[in-house]
Structure 1
Amino acid sequence: MAASEYTPLLEPSTRPQDRSSRWRVLALICFIVLIQDFAEYLSQAPQTEIWLEVVTRKFCPVGQDGPECQMDRVQREVALLQGWKDTLEQVPGILFAVPYGVLADRIGRRPVLLLCAVGFTLSDTWTKAVGWFSDQLPLRLIWLGPIAQVLGGGTQVATSIMYVILADLFSDEEQITAFLYVAATVLVSEILATPLSALLMTKNIWLPYLLSPAFNAAGGLLLFFLPETLPQTPPSQPSSSEQASQRQTFRGRIRAGVDELSRSIAVIWRHRPVQLFLVVFFIAYLGMQVMKLLLLFAADRFHWTIAQASFLIPVRGFTRLLLLLVILPGISRWLIERRRMSPFTKNTRLALTSSACMGVGCLLIALSSHPAGAVLGLVVYALGSAMHLFARRIITSLVDAHHMGTLYTAIAVMQGIGVLVAGPMMATAYGWGLAQGGVWTGAPFLLVGGLYGAAGLAILLGSWEGCKDDLEDGRCSETIG
Structure 2
Amino acid sequence: MRAATERASKGQPDIELESSSIRKRSLDRGGHLSDSDGEAGDDEDLPLYEGDPLASPAVPKAASTSPRYVVIMCSLFIFMVELSMYVTDPALQMIMEDVACHNHFPDHKIGDFKTEDARCKDAAVQGTLAMSRSWMMWATMFVPLLVQIPYGIVADNYGRRLVLFLGLLGNLLGSCWTVIVLLNPTVFSIWYLVLSAVPNLIGGGGSVIIAMVWTILTDAIVPEKRTTLFYQMHAMMLILSTIFRPIAGWMLSINPWLSMWTGLGSLALSTALTLLIPETLHLAQSSNGQQAHGHASHFPPLGPKKSVIRTAWETASKDALRVWQLLQNSKNLYPLILGMAFYTPIHTGFEMNMLQYVTARFEWDWSKATYFMTIPKITSVIVLLVILPAITWIINRRLHLDILTRDLYFARGSIICIVVGNALTVVSATPWMLAISLIALGFGNGLLPQVRAILASQVEAHALATVNTAIASVETMVGLVGTPSLGWLLSKGIALGGFWMGLPYLATTGCAIASAVAIFMFRYLPQSAKSDEEALYDALRTEEDI
Q: Specify if TM > 0.5.
A: yes
Specify the code of the residue in structure 1 equivalent to 2:437: G
| Per-residue CA distance 1:63-95 (angstroms, 9 max, x = gap) | 699999881121111111221212221234322
In 1: Cα distance, 2:220 partner to 2:372 partner: 37
> In the alignment, which of 102, 105, 110 is matched to residue 60 of structure 1?
105
| 1:80 and 2:131 aligned | yes
Partner Cα separation in structure 1 for residue 458 and residue 84 of structure 2: 39
Asked if residue 96 in structure 1 is aligned to residue 147 in structure 2, the reply is yes
Question: Quick check: 1:133 aligned with 2:192?
Answer: no
Q: In structure 2, what is the Cα distance between the partners aligned to 1:62 and 1:18?
A: 60
Aligned equivalents of 2:60 and 2:502: distance in 1?
Answer: 47
2:93 is the counterpart of 1:48: yes
Match of 1:32 among 77, 83, 90: 77
Return the match for 1:17 from 54, 59, 64: 64
What do the CA deviations read for 1:230-258 (whole angstroms, capped 9, x no partner)? 54746999xx99x9xxxxxxx99999998
Identity of aligned residues (%): 23
- Quote the Cα distance in structure 2 between the aligned partners of 1:404 and 1:216: 26
1:355 aligns with 415
Shift of residue 320 of structure 1?
1.8
Output the amino acid matched with 1:17.
S
In the alignment, residue 36 of structure 1 is paired with which amino acid?
V
1:189 to 225, 237, 240: 240
Please tell me whether the aligned partners of residues 320 and 383 of structure 1 are also in contact (alpha carbons under 8 angstroms).
yes
For 1:328, the equivalent position in structure 2 comes to 388
- Structure 1 residues 301 and 340: CA distance shift in structure 2, 3 A: same
User: Is the 8 Å Cα contact of residues 268 and 407 (structure 1) preserved in structure 2?
Assistant: no
Give the secondary structure class of the aligned counterpart of 1:385.
Answer: coil
Alpha carbons of 1:435 and 1:177: their partners in 2 closer, same or farther (altered >3 Å)?
same
| Cα pair distance change 1:40/1:443, threshold 3 Å | same
Identify the residue that residue 217 of structure 1 maps to in structure 2: 268
- Whole-Å Cα distance in 1 between the matches of residues 251 and 321 of structure 2? 58
List aligned pairs for 1:310-321, cutoff 5 A.
Answer: 310-321=370-381
- Give the C-alpha shift of residue 325 in structure 1: 2.2
Structure 1 position 288 matched with structure 2 position 347: yes
In structure 1, give the amino acid aligned to 2:105. Answer: C
Q: TM-score, normalised by structure 1?
A: 0.78
The correspondence for 2:507, drawn from 435, 442, 447, is 447
Aligned to 1:156: 207
- Per-residue deviation, 1:172: 3.0
Which structure 1 residue ranges, 5 or more long, are not aligned? Answer: 1-10, 244-250, 474-481
* Paired amino acid for 2:239: V
Once residues 107 and 451 of structure 1 are traced to their aligned partners in structure 2, the CA distance between those partners, rounded to angstroms, is: 37
Q: 1:86 to 1:236 in 2, by over 3 A?
A: closer
Partner amino acid, structure 2, of 1:226:
I
Paired residues in the alignment total 445
Confirm or deny that 1:113 pairs with 2:164.
yes
Paired AA for residue 286 in structure 1: P
Closer, same or farther: CA 280–256 of 1 in aligned 2, 3 Å: same
> Normalization by structure 2: what TM-score?
0.70
Q: Which residue identity lines up with residue 338 of structure 1 in the other structure?
A: R
Contact (CA 8 Å) 2:65, 2:280: kept in 1 or not? no
Alignment of 1:264-279 (within 5 A): 276-279=335-338
**Partners of 2:231 and 2:64 in 1: CA distance:** 20
Counterpart of 1:419 in structure 2 is: 479
Structure 2: distance between partners of 1:63 and 1:254: 53
CA distance in 2, matches of 1:166, 1:326: 23
Q: 1:403 to 1:38 in 2, by over 3 A?
A: closer
Distance of 1:148 and 1:255 partners within structure 2 = 26
Q: Is residue 2:257 matched to residue 1:201? A: no
Could you report, residue by residue, the CA deviation over 1:303-331 in whole angstroms, capped at 9, with x for unpaired residues?
A: 10011111133222222222222222222
Q: Deviations over 1:393-446 (max 9, x none)?
A: 678899999999997676444322232222111111112212322111111112
More displaced stretch, 33-42 vs 419-428: 419-428
Alignment check: 8 A CA contact 2:152 2:465 kept: no
SS at match of 2:149: helix
Quick one: which amino acid aligns to residue 296 of structure 1? Q
The structural deviation recorded for 1:377 is 0.8
Corresponding letter in the other structure for 1:308: K
Aligned to 1:122: 173
SS in 2 for 1:82: helix
Query: What is the CA distance between 1:106 and its match in structure 2?
Result: 5.5
Kept after mapping to 2: 8 A contact 1:284/1:388: no
- The 1:388/1:185 distance shift into structure 2, 3 A limit, reads closer
Q: Deviations over 1:192-220 (max 9, x none)?
A: 21111111221222211222111112222
* 1:247 equivalent in structure 2: none
| CA pair 84-311 structure 1, distance change in 2 beyond 3 A | same
Contact 1:362 1:446 in 2 (8 A): yes
* Structure 1 pair 115–393 and aligned structure 2 pair: CA distance change class (3 A): closer
Matched with 1:5 is none
1:365 is matched with which residue: 425, 432, 449? 425
C-alpha spacing 1:14/1:115, structure 2 compared with 1 (3 Å): same
Segment drifting more, 317-326 vs 101-110: 101-110
> 1:144 aligns to what?
195
Number of the residue aligned with 1:248? none
Amino acid in the other structure paired with 1:53: D
C-alpha displacement at 1:40, in angstroms? Answer: 0.9
Structure 1 residues 77 and 382: alpha-carbon distance in aligned structure 2, compared to 1, 3 A threshold: same
Q: CA RMSD for the aligned pairs? A: 4.1
- Range with bigger deviation, 274-283 or 392-401: 392-401
5+ residue gaps, structure 2: 1-55, 110-115, 283-291, 304-312, 528-546
Task: Give deviations 1:35-57, integer Å, cap 9, x for gaps.
Answer: 11111100111111111111111
Residue pair 1:15, 1:168 contacting (<8 A) in 2 also: no
State how far apart, in whole Å, the 1-side matches of 2:369 and 2:117 are: 24
Q: For the structure 1 residues 260 and 15, does the alpha-carbon distance in structure 2 shift closer, same or farther, using more than 3 Å as the test?
A: closer
**CA shift for structure 1 position 23:** 1.6
What secondary structure is seen at the aligned counterpart in 1 of 2:147? helix
Quick check: 293-302 or 274-283, which moved more?
Answer: 274-283
Could you say which structure has the higher helix fraction? 1
Contact 1:40 1:212 in 2 (8 A): yes
